[in-house]
Amino acid sequence: MVTLTEKIRDAIVAELHPDLSREKGVLASGQNVIDGQVVKDNGSGKLVAAVAGDTTVEGLIVGNWNVSADTPVPYVARLAAAKAARVTISGGALATTSAPVVTALNARNIFLR
């Protein structure tokens, strides 16, 4: 079962047309992610929440999702700006230990302001 708990756009402040900026990825079973959460590939082609220190990421989740089975979800993969205060990783807000995550986002042309 999948639940889109809320459709909000608090984190993403600007993106090119969604056809250019967004992708759809499979969120791994058991993930509970929120709008603006940084996600990474778990090594099996599924998205999971990124953690501090991750050097590769896939992008930022769009919407709030709580999934009990592998589920396709939208995420911003490139060419966007987001509010730094609203971007999160597993365990909470970005912090100084999250510098590799920010660098990985910047490599995808996703910038925090």
Tens of pLDDT along the chain (113 residues) come to 444 444 446 899 999 888 899 999 999 999 999 999 999 999 999 999 999 999 999 999 999 999 999 999 999 999 999 999 999 999 888 877 789 999 999 999 999 98
User: So where are the chain's domains?
Assistant: 2-112
Residue 23 confidence (pLDDT): 96
Residue 6 to residues 43, 64, 66, 102, Cα–Cα distance (Å): 28, 5, 10, 25
Per the structure block, which two tokens stand in for 58?
A: 């896939």
Residue 6 confidence (pLDDT): 43
Residue 4 confidence (pLDDT): 42
What is the C-alpha separation between 45 and 87, in angstroms, rounded? 22
Per the structure block, which two tokens stand in for 61?
A: 């989740």
Kindly report the number of other CB atoms within 10 A of residue 54's CB atom. Answer: 18
CB 12 within 8 A of CB 18: no
What is the C-alpha separation between 35 and 2, in angstroms, rounded? 15
pTM over 0.75: yes
Q: Which architecture characterizes domain 2-112 according to CATH?
A: Beta Barrel (2.40)
Residue 71 confidence (pLDDT): 94
Residue 9 confidence (pLDDT): 61
Residue 10 confidence (pLDDT): 82
